[in-house]
Amino acid sequence: MSGWSHRHVLDLASFSREDFAAVLDLAQQFRSLPITGARKLPALQGRLVATLFFEPSTRTRSSFELAAKRLSADVMSFSPSSSSLSKGESVLDTARTYVAMGADVLVVRHRSTGVPQQLALDLQQMGERTVVLNGGDGLHSHPSQGLLDLLTLTRFFSPQHPMPEALQGRRIVIVGDILHSRVARSNLWALTACGADVVLCGPPSLVPEDFAAFVDAPPPGLLKDPVPQRGKISVVRRLEHALPGADAVMTLRLQKERMGQQLLTSLKRYHRDFGLSHERMQLCGEDVPVLHPGPVNRGIELSGSLLDDPRVSLVEEQVRNGVPTRMALLYLMAASESATEASLVSSSS
Ligand code: NCD
């Protein structure tokens, strides 16, 4: 996979358009392969992937584990409540335990921003070759979710050829709790890199005005943005103004566990002003899809009937796309590390 330069995958700010295209291309190939049961791909045979989730997860963790298994990796998982974390062991020492057992990849989720980044740095300084994949850190970043959302959207607009160009000039509306959402931040880097214009919609307490400038400065740690020209971001307060002309709408969970203070007067009022329903979606026009990364608060971010309507809801499709997307990430990381590229075609036969 020439051109892939990411040893660790910690955020999407440093991804070029070519990087997004490489992930989409591989994920699309993995998606079309009938990989079940014994029909696994040998790409990660003999490799050990450990999922270290210091915060709860349903989709991300199981999807990473399934992706690793489908590439023939051995998988170990860690659960904070039954681990030595409760005896006071640090995150780094916990990670080092898995490295000592031979982990090649650590997928790390933590409630604090920067933990996967710090781990990657610490392990590198210790001379370890283990790579770190960010499974979601604090409010900061959730790269694999941003990538699976990108696969879902590009496949919606261009099912046979889901490439970044499929989003050029599209208007993607993201509604809700942007402030506390690492998913929104990762989507902002990914969508604007593909040339989409993103409209953020919510109350000032959840969508601060300065999000409009989110991608204006070079990404942290980089002197220059790897994407020459990004789509624009705007902030719109009322759903009635955000939805007309939308090509897709993504809504986000109200992340109450990350809110330090009362930011909403009432959930009922939030649903009235920002909740999506079939009726509301009529403002967009025909066949505009709805996305949500899950977990969903039914009846708050969107109505149950909209969530369950397969004609508009891409929520299950997002979950389905999680596995091939994470396979693509694991594959690219392993391939860049060993520099010996397994041929997809021969390995799937
Ligand atoms: C998200 C997360 O954990 O950041 N969920 C996910 O990974 N699918 C979003 C959320 O918690 O609301």
Q: What is the pLDDT of residue 339?
A: 45
Asked if residue 147 has pLDDT above 90, the reply is yes
What is the position in ligand 1's atom list of the atom closest to the CA of 142? 4
Distance 279 CA to ligand 1 centre (A): 26
Q: Please state the pTM of the whole predicted model.
A: 0.93
Q: Is 231 close to ligand 1, i.e. is its CB under 6 Å away?
A: no
**Among 142, 178, 257, 325, which residue has the most ligand 1 atoms within 8 Å of its CB, making it the best to mutate?**
142
For residue 109, which atom of ligand 1 is closest to its CA? 3
Give the atom of ligand 1 at the shortest distance from the alpha carbon of 253.
12
Q: Determine the atom of ligand 1 nearest the C-alpha atom of 293.
A: 8
In a 3-state reduction of DSSP, which class is residue 255? Answer: coil
Res 259: pLDDT: 63
Sign of torsion over alpha carbons 55, 56, 58, 59:
negative
CATH of domain 143-315: 3.40.50.1370
* Every domain range in the chain assigned CATH 3.40.50.1370: 17-141+319-342, 143-315
Task: Take atom 7 of ligand 1 and give the residue whose Cα is closest.
Answer: 60
pLDDT at 301: 93
Determine if ligand 1 sits within 6 Å of the CB of residue 258: no
Tell me the fold of 17-141+319-342.
Rossmann fold (3.40.50)
Burial of 135 (C-beta count, 10 Å sphere; 0-12/13-18/19+): buried
Alpha-carbon distance values, 318 to 59, 95, 285 (Å):
10, 29, 22
Cα dist from 345 to 30, 42, 341, whole Å: 11, 11, 12
Q: Which residue has the tokens 């403002």?
A: 283
Find out whether the beta carbon of 306 lies less than 6 Å from any atom of ligand 1: no
pLDDT band at 257 (very low <50, low <70, confident <90, very high): low
Secondary structure class of 135 (helix, strand, coil): strand
Q: Ligand 1 mean position to 343 CA, how many Å?
A: 33
Residue 101 to residue 85: CA distance in whole angstroms: 17
CA atoms within a 13 Å half-sphere pointing along the CA-CB vector of 79: 4
Q: What CA–CA distance (Å, rounded) separates 28 from 328?
A: 9
Q: Is 283 helix (H, G, I), strand (E, B) or coil?
A: coil
Tokens coding 257: 């566990």
| Tens digit of each residue's pLDDT (9 = 90 or more) over 4-61 | 889 999 999 999 999 999 999 999 999 988 766 667 899 999 999 999 999 988 899 9
